Amino acid sequence: MGRKVTALDVAKFFFAACDEDSGDLISNMKMQKLVYYAQGVHLAMTGERLFDEDIMAWLHGPVVRSLYNELKKFGSGAVELDLKGFDFKIFTPKQREILEDVYNVFGQFSAWALSGKTHNEPPYQIAAKNGVSAGDNSVISDESMRDYFKTQLT
């Protein structure tokens, strides 16, 4: 087993999957939602976290703070990640399969569509029950993601 996967590693996987030539660009907001869905589906399918960072309930949906800080320099524009030297072998075959499935299902939606979708799902609603603001520290629990996404996989 190699090093632990991080949220940034997952973002790099999704960045590599997007087809820029067809106008398929990913903003910070969209990337946050894809990473959230990857964590949720991984929890539902394996019972384990894909990456260790917590996912927070922010105003526009789920956010991994460390990933947000890495990508905020791109504003609302397309993120560009350096894949030089990035080793996709850090992902197990099962993890790659989950990430490909998540991208195929959710990658087609805009950032705002994904934001709206997450707002209507129990994991976000439970964490945001007291209201949220940008930079809020309401953690979306592994249990709520695992339980919800299990209902979506059947």
Task: Work out the pLDDT band at 21, boundaries 50, 70, 90.
Answer: low
**HSE (CB half, 13 Å, CA atoms) of 133?**
0
56's enclosing H/E stretch is: strand 55-58
The proportion of the chain whose per-residue pLDDT surpasses 70, expressed as a percent, equals 88
User: What is the residue-averaged pLDDT of the chain?
Assistant: 90
Instruction: Dump pLDDT digits (tens) for 104-154.
Output: 999 999 999 999 999 999 999 998 876 665 556 789 999 999 999 999 986
CA dihedral 141, 145, 148, 152 (to 10 degrees): 180
**pLDDT, mean of residues 35-61:** 95
Alpha-carbon span 47 to 43, nearest angstrom? 5
pLDDT reading at 17 higher than 60: yes
Instruction: Dump pLDDT digits (tens) for 49-65.
Output: 999 999 999 988 999 99
Q: Please give the model's pTM, rounded to 2 decimal places.
A: 0.92
Alpha-carbon span 22 to 108, nearest angstrom? 12
pLDDT at 129: 79
How far lies 6's CA from each of 76, 113, 122, 127, 145, in Å? 22, 25, 24, 22, 18
Task: Work out the pLDDT band at 23, boundaries 50, 70, 90.
Answer: low
Cβ–Cβ under 8 Å, residues 95 and 42: yes
**pLDDT, mean of residues 57-81:** 93
The pair of three-digit structure tokens given for residue 65, joined into one six-digit string? 């703070």
Instruction: Dump pLDDT digits (tens) for 82-91.
Output: 999 899 999 9
Comparing CA positions, the residue from 117, 98, 119 lying closest to residue 40 is 98
Q: Which amino acid is at 100?
A: E
Cβ–Cβ under 8 Å, residues 81 and 15: yes
pLDDT at 128: 85
